[in-house]
Structure 1
């Protein structure tokens, strides 16, 4: 299976998107609604209202690529714990989302900030 690189910048559109939109419509959505540059070295993620379909858009050297996935029984667990219209994810978080993990429930260890040893 083709998977995005884990070091790629990923922008997730939180609002549901009409899955009939093709490349031009998605690129315009990135530019106008998300206020981002669709030609950046980034991946833009869109989901439908039912959260059983997902489209990924990215610019690759000389043209746009759209990647589409439809689930037959389950639903994507759209992250609701993050703020903003466009949410930034890591490539690893996107892969977890594609695999069906609930990013809301996945909490890393608390970050520690030490000033000295001992």
Structure 2
């Protein structure tokens, strides 16, 4: 799957799941999307009576992400997803640098 335009929200992401992955977005699954610069991730999932979108933006560094054509969808463990969101390279297990702010501008 190609990088995703992070302006897409529920309807746009659900359409990508249907059109690009040929899957129902209402499956008991978590769909993860990344932008071209790999500093933003969105997660889409169906929860009982509606869709949920979760969004994370890294201030520095990048998510490790596979753009290969065969990676349109893949099964991952919850542990690996948590590691990815925590800033870990799930292949090398090296964490991103911790950033602390005095103020946000």
Tell me if TM exceeds 0.5.
Answer: yes
Q: CA deviation at 1:75?
A: 0.8
Decide which of 57, 81, 86 is 1:70's aligned counterpart. 57
Gaps of 5+ in 1: 1-13, 107-118
| Higher relative contact order, structure no. (Cα contacts within 8 Å, ≥ 6 residues apart) | 1
**Alpha-carbon offset, residue 77 of structure 1:** 1.4
Aligned residue for 2:74, secondary structure, equals strand
Cα deviation for residue 61 of structure 1 reads 0.7
* Alignment root-mean-square deviation, CA: 2.0
Structure richer in strand, relative to its length:
1
Count of residue pairs brought into register by the alignment: 93
1:57 to 32, 44, 67: 44
Q: CA deviation at 1:101?
A: 1.4
4+ residue runs of structure 1 moved beyond 3 angstroms? none
1:22-33 matched pairs, under 5 angstroms: 22-33=9-20
Residues 44, 58 of structure 1: 8 Å contact kept: yes
**Structure whose residues are more often helix by fraction:** 2
User: Normalising by the residue count of structure 2, what TM-score does the alignment of the two structures yield?
Assistant: 0.79
Task: List alignment gaps of at least 5 residues for structure 2.
Answer: 94-105
* Higher alpha-carbon Rg: 1
